[in-house]
């Protein structure tokens, strides 16, 4: 039916939730939505863990700037595992919150390292998405900051959890052995790195760039329908959804908004919209129940926010860590 719910709450409702992504983390962990003062209290609690040990900062610096960000993320989780391996002081709840908080600092600093910028410490009092954006990009104009934070919050909510996919199942399998959380997250990130899982939105961008212009769509779709051509339509179809992915429409709408507010144009969005319109009317795709999925527009949105393609899968991991952690938390 094209429905996605976290803890019984529809995804279209969650993108409007008070407290944004932080409230979704709370919902995934505890099974209920935070209300009133609980929201601000949880936002503060989540922020307080964002600082990274020096050993993790050193691990990030040890990589060449051209190294793949996912390799740095996997190694950073492993470094946290080494740092906290014999930690008996924190509860399972604290460790879960620590993981969600620290991954934002890890990924922001991975970006900075690949851009040859200095590594930074997070603000232990700032809201999650705002802290992440400021760590990545530094001080940016307030109106631009607001729209990027709104878009990032929606992206993270859209990617926070999704049944027993490859990376989530990996986290649970490793966790079932009694391995501590950061080791589980390192394994989960390795599974996410695969192009069949976390790299799909990058493949969509490459496809749209290869098409190049709206007038080339018809020829491209003809190649897709020719089974011998080897041409694939990326960003369409899903193993779970046999009609429109509920996340795709939300992603499309926020994509238009971000491009409008930031006053930037991306011809790839025009190509994507035109391709969607053509494909949704074509019996070939209708019969095969091939509809746009969450990856079809997310790459365009990330580009508009100033996030380079090489960082796309780490942003997926930033959101999905909440799901990984909640699945682990359920087991302990």
Weakly modelled stretches of the chain, pLDDT under 50: 241
Contacts of 191 (CB under 8 A, 6+ apart): 166, 167, 169, 170, 197
Task: Specify the pLDDT at position 241.
Answer: 47
213 assigned to active site: no
- Catalytic residue, chosen from 238, 253, 256, 282, is 238
In the block, which residue shows the tokens 């709104």? 150
Contacts of 13 (CB under 8 A, 6+ apart): none
Q: 304 by DSSP, 3-state: which?
A: helix
Name the strand (E) or helix (H) holding 10: strand 9-10
Task: Specify the pLDDT at position 243.
Answer: 63
All structural domains of the chain, each given as residue ranges with its CATH number in brackets, are 5-194+308-331 (1.10.580.10), 200-304 (1.10.230.10)
Question: What CA–CA distance (Å, rounded) separates 268 from 19?
Answer: 32
Question: What CA–CA distance (Å, rounded) separates 275 from 278?
Answer: 5
Among residues 23, 21, 283, the alpha carbon closest in space to that of 155 is found at 21
253 assigned to active site: no
319: which 2 tokens?
């959101």
- Catalytic residue, chosen from 113, 159, 245, 295, is 295
Other C-beta atoms lying within 10 Å of the C-beta of residue 111: 23
Q: What is the pLDDT of residues 94-129, one digit of tens each?
A: 999 999 999 999 999 999 999 999 999 999 889 999
The two most distant CA atoms of the chain are separated, in Å, by: 62
Q: What is the pLDDT of residues 304-321, one digit of tens each?
A: 999 999 999 999 999 999
Rounded alpha-carbon distances, angstroms, from residue 318 to 87, 123, 145, 150: 24, 17, 18, 15
Q: Where are the alpha helices (DSSP H) in 160-238?
A: 166-175, 181-193, 200-211, 217-225
**Bridge partners (DSSP) listed for residue 6:** 9
15 close to 8: Cβ distance less than 8 angstroms: no
């Amino acid at each position: 039916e094209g429905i996605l719910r976290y803890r019984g709450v529809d995804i279209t409702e969650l993108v409007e939730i008070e407290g944004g992504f932080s409230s979704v983390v709370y919902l995934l962990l505890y099974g209920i939505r935070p209300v009133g003062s609980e929201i601000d209290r949880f936002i503060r609690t989540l922020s307080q863990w964002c600082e990274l040990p020096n050993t993790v900062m050193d691990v990030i610096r040890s990589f060449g700037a051209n190294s793949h960000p996912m390799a740095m993320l996997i190694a950073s989780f492993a470094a946290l595992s080494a740092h906290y391996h014999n930690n008996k002081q924190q509860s399972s709840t604290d460790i879960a919150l620590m993981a969600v908080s620290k991954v934002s600092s890890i990924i922001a600093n991975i970006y900075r390292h690949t851009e040859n910028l200095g590594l930074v410490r997070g603000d232990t009092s700032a809201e999650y998405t705002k802290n992440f954006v400021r760590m990545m990009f530094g001080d940016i104009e307030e109106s631009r900051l607001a729209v990027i934070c709104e878009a990032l919050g929606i992206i993270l909510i859209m990617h926070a959890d999704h049944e027993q996919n490859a990376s989530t199942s990996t986290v649970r399998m490793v966790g079932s052995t009694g391995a501590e959380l950061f080791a589980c997250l390192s394994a989960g990130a390795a599974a996410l790195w695969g192009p069949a899982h976390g790299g799909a939105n990058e493949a969509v961008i490459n496809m749209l760039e290869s098409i190049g212009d709206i007038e080339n769509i018809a020829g491209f779709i003809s190649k897709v329908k020719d089974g011998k051509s080897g041409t694939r339509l990326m960003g369409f179809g899903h193993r779970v959804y046999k009609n429109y992915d509920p996340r795709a429409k939300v992603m499309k709408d926020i994509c238009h908004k971000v491009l409008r507010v930031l006053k930037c144009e991306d011809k790839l969005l025009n190509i994507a919209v035109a391709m969607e319109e053509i494909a949704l009317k074509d019996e070939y795709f209708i019969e095969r129940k091939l509809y746009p999925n969450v990856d079809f527009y997310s790459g365009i949105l990330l580009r508009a926010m100033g996030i380079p393609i090489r960082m796309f899968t780490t942003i997926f991991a930033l959101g999905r860590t909440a799901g990984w952690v909640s699945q682990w938390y359920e087991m302990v």
